[in-house]
Structure 1
């Protein structure tokens, strides 16, 4: 089973890349589904075919879908929403405002994430290609299982115990609607789905991220930041796709400066992202719409490469022995030491990178050790752990 996450700055051609990759995989004999986690949903426009929430065959061996957020909302959030509406009604909130407040921002993307688990579990597909949203939305989306898991592991059991103790008293005193077991069960189901998604996405044997860029300075700069942030949360980037490169056969002198600029950015991308493979596709003479046009892009893009393969054989988080010490390495390409803060809280290592923060659960072998140093060098954070007994000597 393979999951391919295709992301990039808005407008760089990630939907085209995702659709073209899916068609190439199908031609190679894989059973493929491409799904959209982008709220803008442009897969149907790319294939030039109507798409719905159920995978629809767009070519032999290749299906595509655009999720119905309302349908997924009713499936995962209905019980929680109904309880919230009761609470808001008790508090005197108008019904229209209560409906809006009962839908948390980002739920659409959250439910799109759970769809990945459903597609993987169905057994109908060998490869799931995910057309992700623009990079900022993608980082927020892919960090959700990690963040929500942290809260659910710590707060959910405690809040349920507290609810059982105080609910009878509060319901008699103030008639406040209290969450019943159905509400907690709905929350548990959603958490279980997210936990299953997290296991899939965090496994580099299964999931790879592919960054799509244009040969433009600001786009490449954002891709660098995205690469670092994806690595922080344990996602392996195994390819960079440079899209819309000016073809060599364009002879008009007006384009000479553009061609030189594209060549300069291509060289920079290859140097900066090495050893990650850098693939490229030329600027098309017309809109890339429909299966045949997408197949042409896929043939060019993946010429000489297997899109289903792991193109980089490296885990973003690694453990290694250093004499009596153990070193934990977390890939953070392009990060500077001043960008990173590291601390420890119990059995977790807290890593802060700009506005992003990850609570990394330490394996059992490190929980009995103390942190002795933390350095950022050669594109990785390296944290050294020593035995407590030795630390005391």
Structure 2
């Protein structure tokens, strides 16, 4: 099964490009689902069809679903929310306000991704196209499973045992109910499901496609997205430069836009060298409906296969050396001064700007010590050696 996620800054046309790609997949004979995890659903508008919370067939072999995040929220968070409501009730909080307070910001977008897991497990689809939330929200939700991992592995089991043993005493002492087993089970289940989503999306059959318009602000965000997605282990397989003004027959106003866009597009070619860069011109009318969307995607991809499986090792790999091993992590556009690196037991903590990734090292690396780290050609390389090996001499380009 092939999974393609589309993301980008709000308003760049990612829903249209995602819908067109799905239309091509269905036309090629694949059982295709295009799924929106964006709270501001627009797939129904793109297809010109009524689309609901269940897969809706809009053409032969083509189904569309706009995830009912509220339903998934109730299914996955009900036990935890019920406990939080009981605590707020004891504290005298108004029931309506309490219900609002128990909804974690961003939870709906995260839980919408659980729908993707269910579809992947169902074996009903050959292709799943995901219309993601705008870039910042996508990065936050894709990073969540790994961010929760440390807490779930180290703190949660101890906390669960303490609560089980001391629940009656703590309830009397603090005057509020303590969480019971079903609350902990719900949290464990949610974490496990999100971990499966992460493994699915970081796997060899999944990739992310960045959609952008040829504007400097949008290009800057696209570059940051490429770096951050690579940091968290997600493979970017191409960039779509959308809404390009055609040069033919342009009046003075549009001619200035053509010149400005050409300058940005030259930077796009330099920024994403090595990746496919597909270009889509502004169309005379808005593409609505399966036929118009398929025509847009035809022009966009040309002779390229829009569903080709990415090749290579992805942004994260480990190579063995005679002295130990080297961990490679792609960090495009990053210099050594922007990277923070720390070792904590069997974890490697990598920071780039406001984003931080905790890499749990496999047993073969965990027993080794970090000998040296460098950023070379947009790639972080961390060398590991045997604990008793001689340390490497300091070299330019090392990170801290």
- Using the size of structure 2 for normalisation, the TM-score is 0.94
Q: Which residue of 2 aligns with 1:22?
A: 22
**1:295-322: CA deviations, max 9, x gaps?**
1111111211111112453410111234
Name the SS for the 1:179 alignment partner.
coil
> Once structures 1 and 2 are overlaid, which stretch shifts more, 106-115 or 151-160?
151-160
Q: Which residue of 2 aligns with 1:41?
A: 41
Q: Which residue of 2 aligns with 1:83?
A: 83
> Once structures 1 and 2 are overlaid, which stretch shifts more, 6-15 or 146-155?
146-155
Q: Which residue of 1 aligns with 2:273?
A: 274
Name the SS for the 1:389 alignment partner.
coil
Aligned equivalents of 2:299, 2:391: Cα separation in 1: 61
Q: Which residue of 1 aligns with 2:379?
A: 380
The answer (yes or no) to whether the contact 2:164–2:180 under 8 Å persists in 1 is no
Q: Which residue of 1 aligns with 2:397?
A: none
The answer (yes or no) to whether the contact 2:247–2:255 under 8 Å persists in 1 is no
Q: Which residue of 1 aligns with 2:73?
A: 73
Find out whether 1:60 has 2:60 as its counterpart: yes
Find out whether 1:356 has 2:355 as its counterpart: yes
- 1:123 to partner: Cα distance: 0.9
Aligned equivalents of 1:55, 1:165: Cα separation in 2: 46
Pairs within 5 Å for 1:1-393? 1-203=1-203, 205-391=204-390
The answer (yes or no) to whether the contact 1:228–1:332 under 8 Å persists in 2 is yes
Mind listing any 5+ residue stretches in structure 1 that lack a counterpart?
Answer: none
- 1:222 to partner: Cα distance: 0.8
The answer (yes or no) to whether the contact 1:270–1:278 under 8 Å persists in 2 is yes
Question: Across the two proteins, how many residue pairs are aligned to each other?
Answer: 392
- 1:113 to partner: Cα distance: 1.3
Aligned equivalents of 2:381, 2:347: Cα separation in 1: 15
The answer (yes or no) to whether the contact 1:231–1:330 under 8 Å persists in 2 is yes
CA distance 1:174–1:211, change in 2 (3 Å)? closer
- 1:258 to partner: Cα distance: 2.0
The answer (yes or no) to whether the contact 1:352–1:358 under 8 Å persists in 2 is yes
Name the SS for the 1:374 alignment partner.
strand
Aligned equivalents of 1:121, 1:183: Cα separation in 2: 25
CA distance 1:306–1:88, change in 2 (3 Å)? same
- 1:181 to partner: Cα distance: 1.6
> Once structures 1 and 2 are overlaid, which stretch shifts more, 11-20 or 262-271?
262-271
The answer (yes or no) to whether the contact 1:208–1:237 under 8 Å persists in 2 is yes
Aligned equivalents of 2:346, 2:282: Cα separation in 1: 50
- 1:254 to partner: Cα distance: 3.7
Name the SS for the 1:118 alignment partner.
helix
- 1:264 to partner: Cα distance: 2.2
> Once structures 1 and 2 are overlaid, which stretch shifts more, 194-203 or 164-173?
164-173
- 1:155 to partner: Cα distance: 2.1
The answer (yes or no) to whether the contact 2:372–2:383 under 8 Å persists in 1 is yes
**1:242-295: CA deviations, max 9, x gaps?**
001122433434432322222222222122211011011111111122222111
Mind listing any 5+ residue stretches in structure 2 that lack a counterpart?
Answer: 393-400
> Once structures 1 and 2 are overlaid, which stretch shifts more, 302-311 or 168-177?
168-177
**RMSD of aligned residue pairs (Cα, Å):** 1.6
The answer (yes or no) to whether the contact 1:33–1:129 under 8 Å persists in 2 is yes
Aligned equivalents of 2:319, 2:23: Cα separation in 1: 40
**1:15-49: CA deviations, max 9, x gaps?**
00110110011111111111111111111111111
- Using the size of structure 1 for normalisation, the TM-score is 0.96
CA distance 1:249–1:369, change in 2 (3 Å)? same
Name the SS for the 2:389 alignment partner.
helix
The answer (yes or no) to whether the contact 1:238–1:312 under 8 Å persists in 2 is no
CA distance 1:271–1:173, change in 2 (3 Å)? closer
- 1:365 to partner: Cα distance: 1.2
